Amino acid sequence: MFKAKVLIKRRATILDPQGKAVEIGAKHLGLKNIKNTRIDKYIEFSVDTMDKKSAVDEVNDYCKKLLANPIMEDFEFTVEEVK
């Protein structure tokens, strides 16, 4: 059994409207020093396989085919064995 941790980020050149929106809220609350808020996705799951190679392949497939949008997002992940 492996534990995968995936971070999916919009590319830096692409506007993040959700981040912009909460930042405007921050200004209204008096938090004036907050800049460049970007809200991305952090995804955790288990991979129920015996060897690391096939776990990594499955995580990679999951990211490419479902979790990340290849047009505007990049992903990175770690895979660690758990007992």
29 vs 71 by CB, closer to a second copy: 29
Q: Could you tell me the smallest distance in angstroms from the CB atom of residue 33 to a second copy?
A: 4
- Binding interface with a second copy (CB under 8 A): 7, 9, 19, 22-23, 25-26, 29, 31, 33-49, 55, 58, 61-62, 65-67
Reference 20, options 32, 6, 38, 34; nearest CA is: 38
Q: How far apart are CA 23 and CA 76, in angstroms?
A: 26
12 vs 71 by CB, closer to a second copy: 12
Reference 48, options 78, 76, 79, 75; nearest CA is: 79
